[in-house]
Amino acid sequence: MPEATETASKSKLNLPALTAMVVGSMVGAGVFQLPARFAGQTGVYGALIAWSIAGLGMLTLALVFQTLAVRKPQLDNGVYVYAREGFGLYPGFLSAVGFWASTCAGNAFYWVLIMTTLSQLFPEWRSVLGDGDTWPAFFISAAAVWGFFLLIRRGVKEAAAINFIVTVAKLVPLALFLVLVIFFVRWDVFAGNLTGGYDVPGGESLFAQVQGTMLITVFVFLGIEGASVYSRYAKKREHVGTATVLGFLSVLALFASISILSYGILPRAELAALPQPSVGGVLEAAVGPWGGAFIRVGLIISVLGAYLAWQLLAADVVYAAAKDNDLPRHFAVLNRRQVPEHAVLWTSVFVTVILFVVQFVDNALDFTLDLTAALALAPYALASAYALKIALQRDGYDGPAAGRRTRDLVIAAVSTAYTLFLIWVAGYVFLFLACILLAPATILYIVARRQQHAKVFTRPGLATFIAVLGFAVVGIVLLATGAVQI
């Protein structure tokens, strides 16, 4: 997500500065999870294929957001507005709530990650904090969530100094990781990790291995929509597309290098067994304990700074939706410091609820990571479908823009297909979980419509609600009977 809007707004950005901001919007905590997550699913060949698919798909998604920013500049209240504009009020509401829930799940992931990282830095705390899934870890995380709430409601906002510290804390350890790992790669180990086991009897097929990596590739690219936000700050409009492509390719190279080079440090089984953040474990295996400690300290600094930005983003999604009358007016109330206090309050409540729920799942870190990625997929798919729709209808493609329509049409079609494929890959469990959340949340939509004395559902909207409600009921039954477990 965007991490330096305040700085950007003060001056117009040249191409290098714009590219750096695009990179900063995409590099987050997920990159520190890559070695173990990839090794748990596939080998080198599968990783190369996975990054190729993710690279093409996510690049088209980034270009979709850029296209929408150019063709529909008036739609600037967030990702969810594209769903509302293209497919109706209720799908727009679902997109807003889904994106908000994704951001809240990401915030919960941050605290689980901080707790498990602290338990690695201080082994004597291991029995207390575990992997971020113990009750002491929950109470500490919940206290921190509400501490940030008190700061934000007093008007504390993201600052340029925080952005700089966060960026350095992320990129310097990762750069050091790449430099050191290149020198310590053992090519015999790398060769042994090539196939991931698809060539042995009983091993998973290469397709199944690649499929298993898709959600983590989505998670690490969350914030890709932030590239379009910076279009308004560019010195030259033509720099925006160039910065988007350059920034994306730089981030893709970083992510792919970290996951693939790690295969040359440890055998796949040992990589997969590393505790998260596994980048620290890989560097520790290469250079000794100081390497792991360095990565983990940098991660904690980075995550603490990024949490403030993500909490503000989550609240802003709710606030913007309320301003657009897609949520009750309650969420659009500003306090005397011009902070949307109710939006921040309910965001903090939801993050706390997610932290409570993860105490009952098998792997809190992976669950919150996958939930964050899965909840973002529908808003991304609807945005891609809207870009496809306006290209097909020639909406916004008059005059000189007509020549770009075919290009934008192809990009939007690929992005739509890719995001729909990701929804299928995520699986029905996360579809059920999303609907269990969205069905009762529809009460907020009904309240908002009645506040406007407007018809609640159109026929397509009602049909969509019935489908969501049906999936929610099925999901609850399957969870209650133990047929589906999380």
Token digits of residue 283: 């560097």
Q: Domain tally for the chain?
A: 1
Q: Indicate the SS3 state at residue 49.
A: helix
User: If 0-12 CB within 10 Å is exposed, 13-18 middle and 19+ buried, where does residue 377 land?
Assistant: buried
Residue 351 lies in a domain: yes
User: What does R_g of the chain's alpha carbons equal in angstroms?
Assistant: 22
Token digits of residue 61: 């998604």
Q: Which amino acid is at 168?
A: V
User: Is the four-CA dihedral 37, 40, 41, 44 of positive or negative sign?
Assistant: positive
Residue 430 lies in a domain: yes
**Where does the pLDDT of residue 159 fall: very low under 50, low under 70, confident under 90, or very high at 90 and above?**
very low
Closest alpha carbon to 112 in 276, 247, 222:
276
Residue 252 lies in a domain: yes
Strands in 17-104 per DSSP E: none
pLDDT tens for 444-476 read: 888 888 888 888 788 888 888 898 888 888 888
Query: What CATH number is given to the structural domain containing 326?
Result: 1.20.1740.10
Share of the chain above pLDDT 90, in %: 2
Q: Report how far residue 225's alpha carbon sits from residue 231's, in angstroms, rounded to the nearest whole number.
A: 11
In eight-state DSSP terms, residue 208 is: H
Range of the domain at 63: 5-481
State residue 13 phi and psi, 5-degree precision. -105, 140
pLDDT tens for 117-135 read: 888 888 888 788 877 778 8
What Cα–Cα distance (Å) separates residue 140 from each residue in 55, 275, 278?
A: 37, 21, 23
**Where does the pLDDT of residue 413 fall: very low under 50, low under 70, confident under 90, or very high at 90 and above?**
very high
Residue 486 lies in a domain: no
Task: Please give the model's pTM, rounded to 2 decimal places.
Answer: 0.80
